[in-house]
Amino acid sequence: MKKALVFAAVAAGMTTLSTGVQAQDCTTKIGAALPTSVDWGRPIAEVAQFAVDQVNEAGGAGGCSIEMVLRDTQVDPKVGVDAAKALVDLEGVKVLLGAVSSGVSMPILTSVTVPSGVMQMSCCSSSTAFTKLSEEGKTNGLWFRTFATTGVQSAMGAKVAADKGWKSVAILYKNDDWGQDMSRLIAADFAAAGVEVTANVAINDAQPSYRAEVTEALTSQPDALYLALYPTEGKSAVREWISLGGTQNMILANSLKSDEFRDSVGLQYLGNAFGTDTASPRVESADAFKAAYEAKFGSQPNGPGLANSYDAAMIALLAMEAAGKDASGADIAAAVTKVTDPNGTAITADIAGFKAAKTTLAEGGTVMYQGATGNVRFDANGDVSAPAVVWKFTDSGTEEVEYLSLTEVDAFIASLKK
């Protein structure tokens, strides 16, 4: 898909994107509620459309060609809910991809997809509040995410601080579901790692200045600053922090893995800033996705959530294939286990793999999806585990500083609980 199509989607508010070959005489719509009006959100939507295009080239899913109807959430809960309602009520979708921010995904889940019986598959929402909601039986098995919970990022942030010898840290967090969850987990994990949390300050959207909040965080003169923010408020808060003499020792949530943030703050102030993120495992399927992405878009998939977005779309479409034509959202959700079966037939994440899956599923078998983030496994709450990476900014993007396998991540998290 060309970038112009996504920009057109933003300008129009909604668009139907379909560039695949029409292999069927019917069409099924899926919805995508994603933040295409921000620089890091557009590629997430593009890579979801890439998966749809591949599936259409493989003959579609559930007996029909697929159209992805895209609406912009603007990283705003109200806008996101309105977008989701339009996709469900007006477009009749049974599958919704999105949202990105937990603060947008949660109200969509509770007020739109669960009441309507629509399966929701998020690439990037990480709040542990979703796990709790599922444990309470309030998601009806309709919720899945291909991104590990905030527990991984908070633990890896504590590891960075401990490894760097930073003894104290102040936290600035976005005042929404995701940020509040991060704030709570970071404080606990840093304390367990022997790092003092000197301040834990909420940042609200769209304030003209964050000087009061930054001053509060700066009062104790911490060794480092942890930022659980998005680029819009993150760049403003960090500029205030630097101007007031705050340390350049920073730990960044993956939400700040953004050219917009780097360029607005200035690379010269980010030389000792280290980000954390979940990572694709070092496996052949992850490498294959990188190669396919580069061939399609002419760049490496360095932005946040790209591999996760691809897997979210592809797994949802595989489940649609397994559930069959005219399946309900609940039927599609129930079929996810058939396409992520560790004992199923291994398939690749591409056109050939989807064709192979069609054959296996038609014969009554199950498949083991091997995708951009490896062999995806959902637990009973729709959660996944993942390796992790520590990264830093460069002139051209980001570079990996350290990779931690799933075993290493689990071991470190376990050490914090002793």
> Residue 361: which H helix or E strand, with range?
helix 351-362
pLDDT exceeds 70 at position 16 = no
Whether the per-residue pLDDT at 4 is higher than 50: the answer is no
Q: What percent of the chain has pLDDT over 90?
A: 83
Q: Is the model's pLDDT at 19 over the cut of 70?
A: no
Answer whether 391's CB lies under 8 Å from 400's CB. yes
Fold designation for 150-280+387-416: Rossmann fold (3.40.50)
Q: What is the pLDDT of residues 221-278, one digit of tens each?
A: 999 999 999 998 999 999 999 999 999 999 999 999 988 899 999 999 999 999 999 8
65-74: per-residue pLDDT in tens?
999 999 999 9
Query: Going by CATH, does the domain composed of 3-147+305-375 fall within 3.40.50.2300?
Result: yes
CA-closest candidate to residue 98, choices 163, 133, 146, 65 = 146
Closest by alpha carbon to 361, among 350, 375, 347? 347
Q: 199 near 219, Cβ under 8 Å?
A: yes
For the chain, the straight-line distance linking the first and the last C-alpha, in angstroms and rounded, comes to 49
Distance of CA 189 to the CA centre of its chain: 22
Mean pLDDT rounded to a whole number for the chain: 92
Ranges of each domain in the chain: 3-147+305-375, 150-280+387-416
Q: Give residue 366's pLDDT band: very low, low, confident or very high (50, 70, 90).
A: very high
Q: What is the mean pLDDT of residues 52-57?
A: 98
Q: What is the pLDDT of residue 281?
A: 84
Q: What pLDDT digit, counting tens, does each position of 300-316 carry?
A: 898 889 999 999 999 99
In the prediction, which pLDDT does 32 show? Answer: 98
In which band, very low, low, confident or very high, does the pLDDT at 24 lie, cut at 50, 70 and 90? low
DSSP notation for 29-97 = EEEEEE-TTSTTTHHHHHHHHHHHHHHHHTT-BTTBEEEEEEEE-TT-HHHHHHHHHIIIIIT--SEEE
Which residues have CB under 8 Å from 102's CB, separation 6+? 125, 126, 127, 129, 130, 176, 177, 178, 181
Place of tokens 């404080």: 187
Whether residue 60 is predicted with pLDDT greater than 70 in this model: the reply is: yes
Per-residue pLDDT for 18 more than 60?
A: no
3-147+305-375 and 150-280+387-416 agree in CATH topology? yes
What percentage of the chain carries pLDDT values higher than 70?
94
Residue 55 has pLDDT above 90, yes or no: yes
Burial (CB count <10 Å: 0-12, 13-18, 19+), residue 208 = exposed
Angle at CA of residue 19, ends 59 and 362, nearest 5°: 15
Residues with Cβ < 8 Å from 417, sequence gap 6 or more? 192
For residue 67, report the phi and psi dihedrals to the nearest 5 degrees: -115, 130
312 touches 32 (CB < 8 A): no
The predicted pLDDT at position 397 comes to 87
What average pLDDT does range 4-26 have in this prediction?
Answer: 45
Which pLDDT band, with edges at 50, 70 and 90, does 390 fall under? Answer: very high
pLDDT of 351 above 70: yes
Tell me the pLDDT tens digit for each residue of 194-218: 999 999 999 998 888 999 999 999 9
Q: In the numeric block, which tokens belong to residue 2?
A: 């060309």
Whole-model pTM: value is 0.78
Residue 212: CB atoms within 10 Å: 11
Q: What is the pLDDT of residues 32-43, one digit of tens each?
A: 999 999 988 999
- Judge if the upstream peptide bond of residue 99 is cis by omega within 30 degrees of 0: yes
Please choose, from the candidates 405, 185, 166, the residue with its C-alpha nearest in 3D space to the C-alpha of residue 278: 405
Average pLDDT of the segment spanning 371-397: 92
Average pLDDT over residues 155-181: 95
**Residue 22: pLDDT over 60:** no
pLDDT exceeds 60 at position 88: yes
